[in-house]
Amino acid sequence: MADLLIELFSEEIPARMQAKAAGDLKRLMGEALKAAGLSFDGADAFATPRRLALHMTGIPESTPDVREERRGPRADAPEKAIEGFLRGAGVAREDLVERADKKGTFLYAIIEREGRAASDVIAEALADTVKNFPWPKSQRWGTKSKDSTSLRWVRPLHSILCLFDGAVVDLEVDGIKSGNTTRGHRFMAPDEFSVSDFADYKQKLLDHKVILDPARRQTLVHDTAQTLASAAGLELVADEGLIAEVAGLVEWPVPMIGSFDASFLEVPEEVLILTMKKDQKYLVTRDPATGKLANKFIFTANIEPSDDGSAVTGGNERVIDARLSDAKFFWEQDLKGKLEDNLPALEEIVFHIDLGTVAERVERMKKLSRYLADFIPGCDADAAERAAELAKADLVSGMVYEFPEVQGVMGRYYAQAQGESDAVANAIRDHYAPLGPSDDCPSEPVSIAVALAEKLDTLVGFFGINQKPTGSKDPYALRRAALGVIRLITENRLNIELEVLLKAALSSYIFIEFRRYSRGEKTILGKDVIQMHFVFEKTRAFLDDVGIFESELRYQDEISRSKAIEAGFVQPDAEPDDQAILYTDEAKAAKANAWVLFADPKHCIVDLLNFFGDRLKVQQRDKGVRHDLIDAVFAKGDDDLVRILNRVAALSAFLESDDGANLLAGYKRAANILKIEEKKDGVSYDKPVEVGKLAATEAEALSGALASAKEAAENALISEDFEGAMAALSGLRAPIDIFFDKVIVNADEADVRANRLALLSEIRSAVNTVADFSVIEG
Amino acid sequence: MILTLQNYWADQGCAILQPYDLEMGAGTFHPATTLKALGPEPWKAAYVQPCRRPTDGRYGENPNRLQHYYQFQVILKPSPENMQELYLGSLKAIGIDAALHDIRFVEDDWESPTLGAWGLGWEVWCDGMEVSQYTYFQQVGGFDCKPVSGELTYGLERLAMFVQGIDNVYELDFNGAGISYGDVYLENEKQQSAYNFEIADTDKLFEDFRKAQDECAKLLEAKLPLPAYEQCIKSSHTFNLLDARGVISVTERQAYIGRVRDLAKGCCVAWMEKNGWEA
């Protein structure tokens, strides 16, 4: 048993790739050794900016000897068949033995392979791993790159160290020969040195100013930064992701503290933090008394400078001052104008080529936000519309142009500066949220309205142009948008039917679209106002149900209809809601092309409802809710998310009770018998029971219980009392148990049998009023 | 500083070239980089190239941003084994002591959509300031680089600011005898920014773009890749001016970049053919 040490020494590996690369090296070498029959006890991989290292322990000197017998053709088989077998098995004729069994005499090849030396296996495995390493991006370099099949690595690879049991394992990859040497820190200890084993390697690296283990570098950065901050009377904002990145940029971390001009603190801190973190990889600090950002930052150098560090610190301070003065310049520039002055510029920004400009998106969001305000307790409709109007205005500010990550955040500052209410300003900031499952979800009424409008507009638009997510592809983040809608509705306990919301979003598209036509604007979306007639024809009925923007839409509908009549596409005496009568080919073509954007609006809504169903299931499953219970409730066709989740909760609690579990068992029994008998007889027993012909008191008792339980459950459901509905059902447990205990369903008399089966069918329907029990597992 | 860099790279066997006499956005556009990066023949060159980036104009009000500035460009083909050491040697030559300053290679891959080119590399930080761009070219004009060239681009103003310890580019000491960078270029930044953002005649620019495109196509047909490539450089700069004037929408932008790329590609194809190189 011996140890293996590998180091792949290269030019600087991007910080973000190091951890995965170390993991890949460990995995690939482990797999390759195992595949060759070489076991090992343990493996640890490490990465620094310039090296990947792997240490494996407990590897045997060689792979075990292998003896294999392989059966071939019959001894009297044609010569060709025997030759083929010899080739396949890789043995000579004289190595074959004959063996007889019941079926005849067969030839057997005895293949014996001696174990291979571990170092040979390692050499092969490592060469293979290096050649096929899964870097996210890789490159060729140097004189070898004349050939486009030359070795690819993340950056030029300079040396390979490979020691097994203290001896160099010889291998060569594209001209790089393995050895037992490496180098230390680029600036502080650049000379080559040799190592004998892992312990020696680690120690000598340390002597040469390299800390091999990224975890140790991270701890060092974290602890030193903390000490520096406390010494300055400040609190470190310990950003672990950033610390990991910093540790990937240095082999010898030397955290130091610097400061920037306090006047920059006038600029919103989100921008300051972003600049320091993203551009400079600085850790920031806060004043523990006020919680406000302090003008001191911690950066991590890769050297112990030959002076006291003042040159490095001074340099970093100059850089951050220059960067922050850029930010301050934008902040001051932006504040010279008003946020609302930016609105005309949104007309120039394309949201999506098939969905119009951002200005049009804003128009739709305004309408939708106002509409949504009615469903959100305490939401002021004017404020919602105003917030939607300004929500995207910061996209054309200098600051957001320069730092796209602070979209929304800047909008809030600029809105406050022009005197908007807090509700409006906060909604501008929050309307992108929530961005994920654990992100904060807006809870202020106006914010909820605009955040919902933003996401619904996206979802309806992209489903409308058939850009749905497929597999792992979701370029417009529609899954995230749907999850956002789900969270906004359920976490704020809003009683809204999804279908209504989706139709409202759709109608705002129609409205804006029509306005383009009526303004005579050439558009990419369709041809003329007549086509709108066909859009209305497809959507009129179901938009009417929702009653959204009724008068405006009706007016548009009339205009487009009269134009269609004028053009001779529609008979003047056709009722508005009738299917229009078309009598020219041109008219048919116009109908076929009618607003390709929503070629089939009904289908778009149905697709979206299914999409939401799937997202809700995924979300609830991630929270540990049984998906069969969600299916059972979904099958009832509800689209009020809060109601669905209440129902799921009640159902889940009920099924955990004794009554619930037994009722489910009784239901399954009834449903199974019915299924078998209905199939056998080829009829449905879903018909009224004639109580007089049940011919058993237990059956009559059950029939009575069913009727009253069903009624009670239905009444409870009307008032959304799901616990009450479940309680009503739980009363059925006893009569069902007694019925199955005492009564034989398949009675000899046909009449009695039919009636008893109809009774089972009533059990099914009574229980199914609450949820579809047939999809519940158990 | 320019002299020092030139001497240093001349000692490494580079041909010292002069700036190309056309407006361009980066030293990479110089045919000594773009075209010479193609094909199998070794090549080493270094030169200063003035760069124009109309959208970076700030009317002389920003201490770090200029619409006209200088790059020092080095191209080494094939990329030598010790290229990082050579580069660090050049920093030492201009007075940056690696024992005193924190020098870092931070991931920054390079891509030029207009040249159909990309490479992997770093931005080089000195005490947190980006002082150079370091790239291993992988493709130019859509062709694999065989062999790969190593490209170094020094931002001369930034380096000078670093060496002189100055925060504002306009305060740089230009000659050690009382002339500052501002004395030379401040007024130019003001006037050129006004031209780029406000005055440039967009109809004329659209026309120029079209003409350069036509001319380039004609020259390619005549199998004259070098003059054709000049037209490609012109069209690229005209596009940048149009962009600064804000008359190119997001969707058109891609189309314009695509057109310039097609020209660049055509020039590279013609250059390869002219030299009898295979892709």
pLDDT the model gives residue A596: 58
- What does DSSP say about strands A176-179 and A157-164: parallel, antiparallel, or unpaired? parallel
pLDDT the model gives residue A587: 59
pLDDT the model gives residue A525: 36
- Please check whether residue B158 touches A, CB under 8 A: no
A262 DSSP assignment: G
Cβ atoms of A329 and A347 within 8 Å: the answer is no
The stretch A420-432 carries a mean pLDDT of: 96
B58-103: pLDDT as tens digits: 898 888 889 999 999 999 999 999 999 999 999 999 999 999 999 9
pLDDT the model gives residue A521: 52
Domain ends where: A336, A362, A392?
A: A336
Who has greater pLDDT, A705 or A111? A705
State which residues form the domain around B240.
201-275
Q: Which of A282-286, A508-512, A648-652, A670-674 has the lowest mean pLDDT?
A: A508-512
- Using alpha carbons only, what angle is made at residue B272 by residues B270 and B276, rounded to the nearest 5 degrees? 115
Q: State whether B167 and A322 contact (CB < 8 Å).
A: yes
Domain ends where: A174, A207, A240?
A: A207
The reply to whether B183 and B254 lie within a common domain is no
Q: State whether A307 and B100 contact (CB < 8 Å).
A: yes
Residues of B with Cβ-Cβ distance to A14 under 8 angstroms: 107
- Please check whether residue A145 touches B, CB under 8 A: yes
The reply to whether B191 and B61 lie within a common domain is yes
The reply to whether B122 and B41 lie within a common domain is yes
A524 pLDDT tier (thresholds 50, 70, 90) = very low
Tokens of A15: 């910080």
Q: State whether B128 and A154 contact (CB < 8 Å).
A: no
Beta-carbon contacts of residue A242 (< 8 Å; ≥ 6 apart): A277, A281, A283
Beta-carbon contacts of residue B148 (< 8 Å; ≥ 6 apart): A139, A140, A141, A142, A145, B77, B78, B79, B119, B136, B137, B138
Domain ends where: A207, A236, A259?
A: A207
Question: What count of CB pairs under 8 Å joins A to B?
Answer: 124
DSSP readout, A131-171? Answer: HT---SS-B--TGGGGSTTS--BSS-EEEEEEEETTEEPP-
The domain total for chain A is: 5
**pLDDT at residue B183 greater than cutoff 80:** yes
Closest-approach residue (CA) in chain B for A345: B246
Distance from C-alpha of A452 to C-alpha of B75, rounded to nearest angstrom: 53
Q: State whether A140 and B103 contact (CB < 8 Å).
A: no
Q: State whether B145 and A314 contact (CB < 8 Å).
A: no
Q: Is residue A723 part of a domain?
A: yes
- C-alpha distances (whole Å) from A101 to each of A77, A106, A109, A111, B216 are 16, 8, 16, 21, 82
The reply to whether B252 and B265 lie within a common domain is yes
- Please check whether residue A320 touches B, CB under 8 A: yes
The reply to whether A182 and A286 lie within a common domain is no
pLDDT the model gives residue B52: 95
B199 DSSP assignment: I
Closest-approach residue (CA) in chain A for B38: A146
pLDDT the model gives residue A522: 43
Q: Is residue A401 part of a domain?
A: yes
Q: Which of B78, B100, B138 has its CB closest to that of A142?
A: B78
- Please check whether residue B278 touches A, CB under 8 A: no
How far from chain centre, in Å, is Cα B7?
Answer: 21
User: A507: how many CB neighbours lie within 10 A of its CB?
Assistant: 26
Residue positions counted in chain B: 279
Preferred mutation among A20, A51, A137, A140 to probe B, highest tally of B CBs within 10 A: A140
Residues of B with Cβ-Cβ distance to A318 under 8 angstroms: 129, 165, 167
Cβ atoms of B197 and B242 within 8 Å: the answer is no
The reply to whether A42 and A184 lie within a common domain is yes
Q: Which of B65, B99, B150 has its CB closest to that of A187?
A: B99
In terms of Cα–Cα distance, which of A136, A137, A141 is closest to A174?
A: A141
The reply to whether A23 and A142 lie within a common domain is yes
The stretch B116-129 carries a mean pLDDT of: 94
State which residues form the domain around A253.
214-336
The stretch A647-661 carries a mean pLDDT of: 88
Q: State whether A311 and B146 contact (CB < 8 Å).
A: no
The stretch A187-193 carries a mean pLDDT of: 95
pLDDT the model gives residue B267: 95
A573-600: pLDDT as tens digits: 666 555 545 545 665 665 555 555 666 7
How far from chain centre, in Å, is Cα A566?
Answer: 51
- The pLDDT > 70 percentage for chain A reads 93
Q: Is residue A578 part of a domain?
A: no
Domain ends where: B196, B224, B256?
A: B196
Distance from C-alpha of A289 to C-alpha of A312, rounded to nearest angstrom: 30
The stretch A555-584 carries a mean pLDDT of: 65
Closest-approach residue (CA) in chain A for B105: A12
Residues of B with Cβ-Cβ distance to A139 under 8 angstroms: 119-120, 136, 138, 148
The reply to whether B94 and B77 lie within a common domain is yes
The reply to whether A273 and A359 lie within a common domain is no
The reply to whether A57 and A105 lie within a common domain is no
- Please check whether residue B226 touches A, CB under 8 A: no
**pLDDT at residue B130 greater than cutoff 50:** yes
Q: Is residue A634 part of a domain?
A: no
Which CATH number belongs to the domain containing residue B111 in this structure? 3.30.930.10
pLDDT the model gives residue B147: 95
Preferred mutation among B56, B86, B127, B132 to probe A, highest tally of A CBs within 10 A: B127
Who has greater pLDDT, A55 or A92? A55
pLDDT the model gives residue A408: 93
The stretch A430-450 carries a mean pLDDT of: 93
Closest-approach residue (CA) in chain B for A245: B106
Which CATH number belongs to the domain containing residue A362 in this structure? 1.10.3210
Cβ atoms of A757 and A677 within 8 Å: the answer is yes
The stretch A614-637 carries a mean pLDDT of: 85
- What does DSSP say about strands B15-16 and B43-52: parallel, antiparallel, or unpaired? parallel
Please, which residues bridge with residue B129 across strands? B126
- C-alpha distances (whole Å) from A412 to each of A259, A691, A694 are 28, 69, 72
The domain total for chain B is: 2
The stretch B36-40 carries a mean pLDDT of: 94
Distance from C-alpha of A113 to C-alpha of A121, rounded to nearest angstrom: 14
The stretch A660-667 carries a mean pLDDT of: 86
The reply to whether B64 and B178 lie within a common domain is yes
pLDDT the model gives residue A526: 38
The reply to whether A91 and A139 lie within a common domain is no
The stretch B235-259 carries a mean pLDDT of: 85
The reply to whether A143 and A91 lie within a common domain is no
Helix (H), strand (E) at residue A557: helix A550-566
- Please check whether residue B171 touches A, CB under 8 A: no
**pLDDT at residue A631 greater than cutoff 50:** yes
A233: left (phi over 0), alpha (psi -120 to 50) or beta: left
The reply to whether A279 and A241 lie within a common domain is yes
Name the amino acid, one letter, at B158: R
The reply to whether B130 and B219 lie within a common domain is no
pLDDT the model gives residue A546: 65
Q: Is residue A650 part of a domain?
A: no
- C-alpha distances (whole Å) from B119 to each of A14, A769, B134, B146 are 14, 64, 9, 13
pLDDT the model gives residue A523: 39
The reply to whether A32 and A151 lie within a common domain is yes
Q: Is residue A759 part of a domain?
A: yes
The reply to whether A331 and A295 lie within a common domain is yes
Domain ends where: B196, B219, B236?
A: B196
Q: State whether A11 and B84 contact (CB < 8 Å).
A: yes
Give A304-371 as a 3 state SS string.
CCCCCCHHHHHHHHHHHHHHHHHHHHHHHHHHHCCHHHHHHHHHHCEEECCCEEHHHHHHHHHHHHHH
The reply to whether B160 and B241 lie within a common domain is no
The reply to whether B98 and B160 lie within a common domain is yes
- Please check whether residue A472 touches B, CB under 8 A: no
Q: Which of A560-569, A748-757, B20-29 has the lowest mean pLDDT?
A: A560-569
**pLDDT at residue A385 greater than cutoff 90:** yes
Distance from C-alpha of A70 to C-alpha of A638, rounded to nearest angstrom: 63
Q: State whether A315 and B78 contact (CB < 8 Å).
A: no
The reply to whether B111 and B151 lie within a common domain is yes
**pLDDT at residue A301 greater than cutoff 50:** yes
- Please check whether residue A302 touches B, CB under 8 A: yes
Instruction: Report the mean per-residue pLDDT for chain A.
Output: 88
Residue A2 main-chain phi, psi, to 5 deg: -150, 170
The reply to whether B240 and B205 lie within a common domain is yes
The stretch A363-379 carries a mean pLDDT of: 94
- C-alpha distances (whole Å) from B35 to each of A450, B16, B70, B80 are 53, 17, 21, 19
A333-360: pLDDT as tens digits: 899 989 999 999 888 787 887 788 899 9
Q: Is residue A672 part of a domain?
A: yes
The stretch A546-571 carries a mean pLDDT of: 71
**pLDDT at residue A674 greater than cutoff 60:** yes
The stretch A380-406 carries a mean pLDDT of: 92
The stretch A670-677 carries a mean pLDDT of: 88
**pLDDT at residue A527 greater than cutoff 70:** no
Q: Which of A561-565, A751-755, B207-211 has the lowest mean pLDDT?
A: A561-565
Q: State whether A319 and B251 contact (CB < 8 Å).
A: no
Residues of B with Cβ-Cβ distance to A404 under 8 angstroms: none
- Please check whether residue B105 touches A, CB under 8 A: yes
Q: Is residue A735 part of a domain?
A: yes
The stretch A547-568 carries a mean pLDDT of: 72
Q: State whether A316 and B105 contact (CB < 8 Å).
A: no
Instruction: Report the mean per-residue pLDDT for chain B.
Output: 93
The reply to whether A240 and A157 lie within a common domain is no
- Please check whether residue B185 touches A, CB under 8 A: no
Distance from C-alpha of B69 to C-alpha of A600, rounded to nearest angstrom: 56
pLDDT the model gives residue A576: 53
The reply to whether A357 and A440 lie within a common domain is yes
Which CATH number belongs to the domain containing residue B222 in this structure? 1.20.58.180
The ipTM assigned to this model is 0.93
Residues of B with Cβ-Cβ distance to A322 under 8 angstroms: 63-64, 167
Q: State whether A187 and B103 contact (CB < 8 Å).
A: yes
The reply to whether B139 and B264 lie within a common domain is no
Domain ends where: B146, B179, B196?
A: B196
B94 DSSP assignment: T
How far from chain centre, in Å, is Cα A248?
Answer: 27
- Please check whether residue A401 touches B, CB under 8 A: no
Q: Which residue has the tokens 């600087």?
A: A12
Distance from C-alpha of A57 to C-alpha of B256, rounded to nearest angstrom: 58
**pLDDT at residue A533 greater than cutoff 80:** no
Q: State whether B99 and A329 contact (CB < 8 Å).
A: no
